[in-house]
Structure 1
Amino acid sequence: MNINRTRRLRKNENIRRLVRETKLSVDDFVYPIFIEEGEKIEKDIPSMPGIKRWSLDRLSKELDEVTALKIPAVMLFGIPQHKDSEGSSSWQDDGIMQQAIRFIKTHYPKLYVITDVCFCEYTDHGHCGPLCEHNGVVDVDNDATLENIAKQVVSHAQAGADMVAPSGMMDGMIATIRSALDNAGFTDLPIMSYAVKYASAYYGPFRDAADSAPSFGDRRSYQMDPANRVEALREATFDYAEQADILMVKPALSYLDIIRDVKNNFELPLACYNVSGEYAMIKAAALQGWIDGDRVMMESLLSMKRAGADIIITYFAKEAAQLLQIDKNF
């Protein structure tokens, strides 16, 4: 009897290593960091076990671990003391993000610094730009937000950022940012676009971490409907045409099909964001002893890489990097 014996290539670890199609590396990871304005802050985030908010005077404790593990890049999220209707502290030279960039580039010059470009952490209403009202409906003013985005990205570039990553899902944001950076002399500074960002329930713990929950309503008028797939390609097409250097899909685990679609359709590096809710679910189940947390973590990250992600932004970066040092077979 002629049987197709595919198990021949699974018999032991050596042959499995030789034929393994997808491999994780520390080079795949970007580690998000929350930096709060103030002093002596090392604050646990209850909904994200192991993740903290840091003030600049305590930040070296975190960055020493990141660099020792050879994680190549961090993504910064600023938490200011002052908030207003426009989020104006986001583009001030002495803003928390600008201070953090300068601190890292001074003390950790080899670490690649990516800045989140948005306004929800900086506005007193928690939405991603200044508001307007039309026919009794309050919403984010797209074009007024673009004017402020231009100021924010230039301030990040002047402080020393290596890359900017706009996350607000405003129409025309990539073209606005590219023009603003070029006009300010930062033609070599790349843009990682949150090109496909869904209005997801998986962001809940992040809003605790960054104090960015909207004070009213939600963000469905500017973030994407989770039901839509073709729209993701439209959004990515616009950002590609506007000269994004890297495209991103957010969240990751529930949108692996979208990661593959974008990978198949665009010849640009592709990032995905393994978001706070995905992190929290694994952590919570592991703490209860219901799953092997390390194995589920690595399997989840591997699924993102297998789906097509070249870059994985993940709160698991430090833990995954430690495991890869011990066992490169994940």
Structure 2
Amino acid sequence: MLTVAFSVHDLTSIRFAYSPLREVSTGVHALRTPAGRVLHLPWFKQVGARLGGELAPLLDLVTGGPYIPDFLCPVPTSPLPDLAGELAMLRATPHEIIRADLDRMADETPGSLTGRAMELYRDPAAGLDRLSAAIEAYWRLAMAPHWPRMRTLLEGDLLHRARRLAELGPAGVFADLHPAIRWEGRTLYLERRPAEWSRTLNGEGLLLAPSIFVWPDFLYRTDSPGQVAITYPVRAVATLWERGAAPAPGALAAVVGRSRALLLGELDAPASTTDLSRRTGLASASVSEQLTLLLSAGLVAKHRVGRSVLYVRTPRAQGLLDG
């Protein structure tokens, strides 16, 4: 078991950010280890057969073993980073860090340091250029067509966690982060680490990063220098590949109308107008009109997160649904 103890300062230094490059790494890992990841089966079917040799510099680094090199999952410097900025960080990674992470990969999975991974080890400068090109190719193939929906889900999670932290403190944030993560006192316990290990934070804080593809597991970066990071499954990940409309709650529909009841039922997690239109089958203009009415009635609230406006149902609406 891993334990992470927090100082008083670190309790106020919990931050949230998603990472496109982290999604690239965990997505490749999911493709390598599809067993138990049935939620992503529609994506696997679309993407898996189209992975070609141009992606070797990336595929040879994410082999499906227990360790993804840390330099492939940089700590985001802002809550809403973009791929271009993270690739610039990747290309600037010191060569000694590249080699140290690859040494660890070889230790964790003997025989994995081959092919383009070995080329990167021998010549990091040239290898990072090839790796960046492979990541951009993978993004166009596997991520770009689905990124708007993924980004909405990730931004909604950031909004939810920030509200939980403000209202309930760290206990509220960690209560439903992952079944193997628990919070007691000022200590975080991660129960799936094979060996006993502990770390006391001394002002560096904690990064919590929601992820589409890490589900159903989680990742942690605790024994490297710098900020501790935990990558956990994004909320409502099961809705990502859904198609078609969900049934409206009958009694509530009779009072507020079918469309508005349908939208309230979908807003268990924050969502954008476009995402709600896709999930319910309603036209975007109709969704926007109904959300305006629900907003006026105090049944939904809206928040701007980056470039998106996300809607979420209010406690008043939750009371109606519960009733």
TM range (shorter): under 0.3
The structure richer in helix per residue is 2
Tell me: higher relative CO, structure 1 or 2? Use CA pairs within 8 A at least 6 residues apart: 2
